[in-house]
Chains A and B, each alone.
Chain A
Amino acid sequence: MGHSYSESKQIATKTISILAVITIAEVVFALTGKGYIIDGFHMPHWLIGGVMIIMSVVKAYLIIYEFMHMKYEVPGLVRTVLIPTLLLVWAIIAFTYEGSYWQNSRAKVRNLKSVASTEQVEHH
């Protein structure tokens, strides 16, 4: 692996410490952003979401590269595993957008229906 036993022990301890710190930071940030820690202080949704996603991706990177030793695999293996995974992450984000599109479409249909029914009442 290119590291001595004591070196890899150090790397593992360092990695787990960073992961723990990021997790605490995530929780504190989420609670602060949603107004649980400082009274009356809120952050916009996109900011909370964006920071959370970035922190989670950093955690995923550390787990895959340090704990699962992806760092030491040949580039071909890295690509065959990571490219499909990144496409999956994109699919999750894309379908989340799709979900809000469904919501807007439903609201639109509901409005059209209520307009149509009031028009019918007026005709009679």
Chain B
Amino acid sequence: MASETVSLHGDHAAPTWSGGAEPFKASYGKLMMWYFLLSDAFTFAGFLIAYGALRFSMPTWPVPDFVFSSLPGGIHHKPLIFVTIMTFVLLASSFTMVRAVQEGQQENKRGVVKWMLLTIVGGLMFLGCQAWEWTTLIGTEHMTIKVNPFGTHTESGVYLQDGHDVKKGDTFTAGHSYLIHQHDGHFQHLAYEVTDGPNKGQIKKLEFGPKAFGALFFFITGFHGFHVFSGVAFLLIICLNAASGLYEKRKNKYEMVEKIGLYWHFVDLVWVFVFLLFYLL
């Protein structure tokens, strides 16, 4: 312990690893953060592999532009707008994080604390957006990890019943998505007549979409949201430490801020791919 204390707080430029050569000319903390992020990438890749394999093994899949098209304030049918706002919030918080690291390089305590606080605000805004999205999906659209009321038509048809947002006589074509609404706590599987293809004339009822959709959505965005949440918690702790002058004493250019910065950018990076696979494709 004694020798460690000396090497950490001594006046001379302390080596980042005690004894031996420094692997990759990186400090112990930064190197381990890189490999932690790599292992985290494996977990996310596992989720995304499951998503890719299951989505393309289904004959139909709910169209994301239909599922994710609501905004707060009762605005509907605006595909991708809300999730684009979420993406921008996360990108902006990545920028403020870069600025915090740069101020750390300058040993500017006030700058570090200011930009870290802004990053925390960005993270909280993103979590707020996600909470609203989940509330809409669970509360008003009744999607769970087991029941997925979003489906996509595989043939053209005409509705034989009045529904929540459709009327008897309304027509649809293959590829259009639908949502099975609840009425008095029960799902309303509307009846329709097929007007096209080999089943022409048959009367069918709307069926639930692929079950995996809900489970994949909640687990993948949930796992990412959990990373954002933990990131905000760590940012808060490190911001308080920075404000208290702890890192100033270490005289290592606020390396702790740099490490949490790596983590925060990784969370942003994962969102790039979640945004691509879930919302854009």
Binding site for B on A (CB under 8 A): 1, 5, 8-9, 12-13, 15-16, 19-20, 23-24, 26-27, 30-31, 34, 36, 48-49, 52-53, 56, 59-60, 63-64, 67-68, 73-74, 76-77, 80-81, 84-85, 88-89, 91-93, 95-100, 102-103, 106-107
Contact = CB atoms under 8 A, between A and B. Distances in A.
Contact of B52 (A1, A13, A23, A92): A92
A88 B281 contact: no
B98 to A, nearest CB: 5
B79 A36 contact: yes
Nearest to A48: B281
Nearest to B91: A19
Given A88-B42, A96-B53, A74 B98 contact: no
Given A34-B65, A81-B38, A9 B53 contact: no
The interface size bin for chain B is: 35 or more
Contacts of A27: 80, 84, 280
Interface of B: 23-26, 31, 34-35, 37-38, 41-42, 45, 48-49, 52-59, 65, 79-80, 84, 87-88, 91-92, 94-95, 97-99, 102, 105-106, 261-262, 265-266, 268-269, 272-273, 275-276, 280-281
Contacts, number: 131
B38 A5 contact: no
Contacts of A56: 272-273, 275-276
Nearest to B78: A36
Contacts of A13: 95
Contact of B265 (A20, A52, A67): A67
A71 to B, nearest CB: 13
A73 B53 contact: no
